[in-house]
Chain A
Amino acid sequence: MHLLVCGGTGCRASSSDLIVDRLKAEIASNGLENDVQVIMTGCFGFCEKGPIVKVLPDNTFYTQVKPEDAAEIVREHALKGRKVTRLLYTDPVKKEHVSDSKHMGFYRKQIRIALRNCGFINPENIDEYIARDGYQALGKVLTEMDPQKTIDIIKKSGLRGRGGGGFPTGLKWEIASKNKADQKYVVCNADEGDPGAFMDRSVLEGDPHSVLEAMAICGYSIGASKGLIYIRAEYPLAIKRLKVAIDQAHEYGLLGNDIMGTGFNFDIELRYGAGAFVCGEETALIHSMEGLRGEPTNKPPFPAESGYLGKPTNVNNVETFANVAPIILKGAEWYTSIGTEKSKGTKVFALAGKINNVGLIEVPMGTTLREIIFEIGGGIRNGKKFKAVQTGGPSGGCLTEKHLDIPIDFDNLVAAGSMMGSGGMIVMDEDDCMVSVAKFYLDFTVDESCGKCTPCRVGNKRLSELLGKITDGNGELEDLERLRNLSNVIKDTALCGLGQTSPNPVLSTLDNFYDEYLSHVVDKKCKAGRCKSLMQYVIDPEACVGCTACARNCPVNAISGERKKPHEINTAICIKCGACIEKCKFDAISIK
């Protein structure tokens, strides 16, 4: 019997490592060491219900496990074969327990390719990776295929970059392979920077070898002997797992010189980011590795021609690499059978926001938003109404009710006014103010802009100020025109992808939620109730008993009134801190 405990950062934050310790202790004290093993795996994806403990071989899926539950799991399930029903997942509609994850709404429509090993293996044990066909693809490529043949398979598979650009991966490899040089490089972009995105993190934490193997395959195809993984410093667990994986691969002769005795040399180094979103842009990433300021430079020349240290360099995203080994092993036809005409395979999405099932999912391209949000996602939290879903992070746009049945793929999302991006999906309900959402993303890009080109350095700042002006209640009608014009010029003139896409949230919300902007600007009202400056704190004279609790706690003395008589808030002085609402025992204060 195996007890798999989720070791993704989310579940670890809820003490899943303690669960492992307690389980091991219980197993030991019950003398079960020879029969029951505890394995810490990568992310299962169902983060909403974490920490997860899965029992093999019967596939029992325990949710929201606490360290204190370890004893019961061992004594009841391991020892006596009785499931701990209170820890089983309850289907919210049918109100029944579901024991095996393949029957759950969250998992039913998922096809996990990039995440194939996450939740199944101990990422710090290379033997488990190998047991699940690990390094078979590399072996096949090195012994049975030549570089061009390998590239052809990737081309035929239709794999497109998963970092957001969607560029055909096979073509990218081919261009790099055709450029002659004495040294070439394979770079893995692990600088996942979109707020709320954790797809790459989960792959690196849960299945680091999949990336190493793919990089070696890429190196063989393009003629590179050196690989570099540029990983953001804010992912210490992923860094640790990669280091362990690289060491183990070395030990087994799967990285380094003369891999598998074929004479092919390929080694991988880690390089660390230092807190700059812009270094996820490939030229800025390369310059950061070169020790220069992390600023993008003009393309062309593209990295495939002149990249790291001026040499041909192939840069791919973590998730792109995670798809390579299965394609080699199962063939291009298999991969093309999944997905849509122009977007093959699957995509990992980080589902977050006002949704019941927050977590990591991997679905075939072509799955609709409706399926993702209402079936896999379990619908909107707290019974609220769906308003919009933001895809593509700060580079993307909002999709609304009318887009729910669009089959998701690269081109459809762009046509709908958004983009796939790296896979972040933030679900919003009626309590989300779309103007604030745009401002949130602009504030992010203003912070992260490198400052090199005028439109992004100054333009984004001005967009952010305009949005702030509007959410503060000082907006004017011409500000909306200015938002649109400035956004279009920034998109048209910015030097790199950051600036070229940062106005997308603005344009997308202007297109789909113009009424909200009008309401902020003309009526000075925020219907979602989020923009504090447009809200007023009001005491209902019918409900107020004059207990003076609010007045006594107001930090700015904005509330006046006599004892036992209804009180009043002076909105001019009120700073909307909410202290009065907290103190009122009669529910007499509301925000309008």
Chain B
Amino acid sequence: METVKLTIDSKQVEVPKGTTIYKAAKSMGIDIPVLCYMDLHDLGVENKPAGCRICVVEIAGRRNLAPSCSTVCMEGMEVKTHTTRVINARRTVMELLLSDHPKDCLTCPKSGRCDLQDMSVRLGIREIPGQEFAAMSTYKKDFSPSIIRDVDKCIMCRRCETMCNQVQTVGALSAVNRGFMAVVAPAFEQDLVKSPCTYCGQCVAVCPTGALTEVDHTAKVIRALADPTKTVMVQTAPAVRAALGEEFGLEPGTLVTGKMVSALRKIGFNYIFDTDFAADLTIMEEGTELLDRLTRHLNGDKSVKLPILTSCCPAWVNFFEHNYTDMLDVPSSAKSPQQMFGAIAKSYFAEKLGKKREDLVVVSVMPCLAKKYECQRDEFKHEGNPDVDLSLSTRELANLIKQFNINFMELPDEDFDRPLGESTGAAVIFGATGGVIEAAVRTAYELHTKKALPRVDFTELRGMDGIRTATIDFDGLPIKIGIAHGLGNARKLLDQVRSGQADFHAIEIMACPGGCIGGGGQPLHHGDSSIIKARMAAIYREDAGKSIRKSHENPYIIQLYEEFLGKPMSEKSHHLLHTQYFDKGKKDIYIK
């Protein structure tokens, strides 16, 4: 491997050819500040516009300062990262950024977790000169069901644009306008709801300021909890328990399931249930649907569409409702676990409690921002009353815990309530890319072959590669599985399906890179993708530690079918647990 030798701050270093000054410095323990630059190495994403000019350094012989994030090391280069010239330039650039930024830190939803704020603190900025004559670039605030755009705070780092266009290939956000009013926004500065936005929230996950934040349901949850006429139950997604601890200083990848339940109980929810329960339910329905389609296909029924696509990810559902309107009968008709839970809670469990659905409030805790949008979709309401009333992100839950004076670290481990709190290992792996389909395989195998699984772990379905394929042997019947995470990868697989090139039986799609553990509502990773990997490991650890690891062996699921639903894909199951999809394809939009 070719290397180059150079000097940084008077110390020699040898690095592989093609290394940037920023990375070379990092390897020497020199931490050059970066703001717009973001390298999500494990996800194969790099945002490198070289636009913020915070990371500039001095290079001997070069007339001007160089952006270290984008300047490649050359043999014999002499770099200085903290001369007076550099520090003066860096501080002036920071002052310029702050001069065109709202000064409402104290009430900004990003305060305390804001990269711009951190940088200002790090650089020791104490005043912004010339404010009385300084214009500010201001824009209309945009409220969508999941994401709030407050782009007065946009610093043109282009991270959201990179995620939305390169990674997700959704194309809802791009740079618009020129010069001082340049900002990242949907086309013609329209609202998000008019754009092809899927609400995946990856833009929110990477935004360094308060320009992109989530719609906050915390206040509504507190009000519901305070209402004595309401019975409030909470369901928690699998990915939350692998990440919540980060908000309290724990190492990424620490499982905090027991503490999470304990905290929710202390907050005052009437019932602490688990979305994982509904995940097991989803496997029952979707696994049966897969086998049904598979059997008919193998018997020569030409009307059957294969592959079956998983449909638990609402951003993914939005994506194919926009882009694959000719294939709306291809995905599974099963609802997502969040919504299945809500439907069962407000029917089966309402009956058990002897309460009307209007007196129940179902709150979900999700790693996801699209779930906020999903729970208000009209088809998930019964006579105007939603199956799931509110959806909190992991970040909001952490804030709620702090607001209720709970010392998270001191909490004991507690268990979920029954009957909607018991789940298997198959359910918890829903949180990672490949988990849904692995859970489906565990059940579908035994249902189809009527034999016990030779192994429970299907490691060939796991991993961080954007597109993965595997063939699972169902006792002589090869089942071809496709997996994609990140909507850009999903698009590649779907285009293959559309053109007839793909011969998969089942495909799992997760909109967020990494799967739900990398969701838009999770604790911010601030550009460190190793955090996502650590969360993924935690998910599989939780699965391995469970005594029951196949969805169809969940006794409470068995009980639910016996007492209430009958069997998977029964009429009642169909009515409560299945849904349809809508054409949201491109229409002519004329701006008058």
Mark A residues whose CB is within 8 Å of B: 276, 278, 293, 295, 297-298, 300, 446-455, 457-459, 461-462, 465-466, 468-469, 474, 482, 485-486, 489, 491-495, 500
A298 touches which of B67, B155, B174, B175 (Cβ 8 Å)? B67
Interface residues contributed by chain B, number (CB under 8 Å) = 37
Give B461 Cβ to nearest chain A Cβ, in Å: 36
Using A293-B174, A298-B70, A482-B129 as known contacts, say yes or no to A458 and B96 having CB atoms under 8 A apart: yes
Is residue B280 contacting chain A, with contact meaning CB distance below 8 A? no
Which one of A451, A454, A495, A500 lies within 8 Å of B178 (CB-CB)? A451
Q: Give the interface centre of B52, B71, B72, B93 by most chain A CB atoms within 10 Å.
A: B93
Give the residues in chain A near B134, CB-CB below 8 Å: 462, 465
Contact A493 B133 (CB under 8 A): no
Beyond the given A455-B93, A461-B180, please list 7 additional residue pairs across the A-B interface where CB-CB is below 8 A: A298-B50, A449-B180, A452-B51, A452-B182, A455-B53, A457-B156, A482-B129
Interfacial chain B residues near A452, Cβ < 8 Å: 49, 51, 156, 175, 182
Known contacts being A450-B178, A450-B182, is A500 close to B64, with CB within 8 Å? yes
- Which 3 residue pairs are nearest across A and B when measured between Cβ atoms? A451-B182, A449-B179, A458-B96
**Taking each of B97, B100, B133, B179, which has the highest tally of chain A beta carbons within 10 Å of its own beta carbon?**
B179
Residues of A within 8 A of B53 (CB): 453-455, 493-495
Q: Which residues of A contact B207 (CB under 8 A)?
A: none
Pick the contact of B135: A298, A461, A485, A495 (CB < 8 A): A461
Smallest beta-carbon distance B61→chain A, Å: 15
Q: How far is the CA of A462 from the CA of B72 in the complex (A)?
A: 32
Which residues from A are CB-within-8-Å of B117? none
Closest residue of chain A to B91, judged by CB?
A: A489
Choose one: A276, A278, A458, A489; the contact of B180 (CB below 8 Å): A458
Does the CB pair A454–B179 fall under 8 Å? no
**Least CB separation from B174: chain A residue:** A293
Q: Let me know if B138 is at the binding interface, CB within 8 A.
A: no
Does B89 make an interface contact (CB < 8 A)?
Answer: yes
Query: A455 to chain B: which residues have CB within 8 Å?
Result: 53, 93, 96
Nearest-neighbor residue (CB-CB) of A468 within chain B: B133
Smallest CB gap from A450: residue in B: B178
Let me know if B56 is at the binding interface, CB within 8 A. yes
A residues near B89, Cβ cutoff 8 Å: 489, 492-493
CB A471 to nearest CB in B, in angstroms, measures 12
Smallest CB gap from A466: residue in B: B130
Q: Is the CB of A457 within 8 A of B180?
A: yes
Query: How many angstroms from the CA of A357 to the CA of B174 in the assembled complex?
Result: 48
Which B residues lie within 8 Å of A462 (CB)? 96, 99, 130, 134
Are A466 and B133 in contact, with the CB atoms below 8 A?
A: yes
Chain B interfacial positions (CB closer than 8 Å to A): 49-54, 56, 64-65, 67, 70-72, 85, 88-89, 92-93, 96-97, 99-100, 129-130, 133-135, 155-156, 174-175, 177-182
Could you show 15 A-B contacts with beta carbons less than 8 Å apart?
A: A298-B50, A300-B72, A447-B178, A451-B179, A454-B53, A454-B96, A455-B53, A461-B135, A461-B180, A465-B134, A486-B92, A492-B85, A493-B53, A495-B51, A500-B64
Among the interface residues A278, A448, A455, which one has the most CB atoms of the partner chain B within 10 A?
A455
Give B183's nearest chain A residue, CB to CB. A451
Known: A298-B70, A492-B85. A450 touches B179 (CB 8 A): yes
Contact across chains for B156 and A451 when beta carbons are under 8 A apart: yes
CA distance A309 to B350 in the complex (A): 61
CB pair B178–A485 under 8 Å, yes or no, is: no
The smallest C-beta distance from A302 to any residue of chain B, in angstroms, reads 12
Partner of A493, one of B93, B100, B181: B93
Shortest CB distance B378–A (Å):
37
A276 to B178, CA, bound (A): 9
Nearest B residue to A493 via CB reads B53
For B88, give the chain A residue with the smallest CB separation.
A489
**Residues of chain B contacted by A474 (CB below 8 angstroms):** 133
Is B50 in contact with A458, judged by CB distance below 8 angstroms? Answer: no
Residues of A close to B130: CB separation below 8 A: 462, 465-466, 482
- Determine if B99 and A454 form an interchain contact, defined as CB atoms under 8 angstroms apart: no
List chain A residues, Cβ under 8 A from B155.
Answer: 454
Nearest to B182 among chain A residues (CB) is A451
- CB of A167, distance to nearest CB on chain B (Å): 14
Contacts of B100 in A (CB 8 A): 458, 461
Instruction: Give Cα A491–Cα B85 distance, bound, in whole angstroms.
Output: 12
Tell me the bound Cα distance from A293 to B177 in angstroms: 10
Chain B residues within an 8 Å CB radius of A446:
179-180
Query: For residue B175, which residues in chain A have a CB less than 8 angstroms away from its CB?
Result: 293, 295, 451-452
Interface centre among A300, A450, A458, A500 (most CB of B within 10 A): A458
CA distance A449 to B96 in the complex (A): 15
Greatest chain B CB density within 10 A among A446, A454, A461, A462 is at A454
* Inter-subunit contact A469/B51 (CB<8 Å): no
Task: Output the least CB separation between A542 and chain B (Å).
Answer: 40
Say yes or no: B52 contacts A457, CB within 8 Å: no
In whole Å, how far is A285's beta carbon from the nearest beta carbon of chain B? 15
State in angstroms the CA–CA spacing of A493 and B51 once bound together.
10
A462 to B95, CA, bound (A): 11
Q: Please, how many angstroms separate the alpha-carbon atoms of A43 and B392 in the complex? A: 70
| A488 vs chain B, min Cβ distance (A) | 9
Assess A448 versus B64: contact at CB under 8 Å? Given A298-B50, A458-B100, A462-B99. Answer: no
Q: Which residues of B contact A298 (CB under 8 A)?
A: 50, 67, 70-71
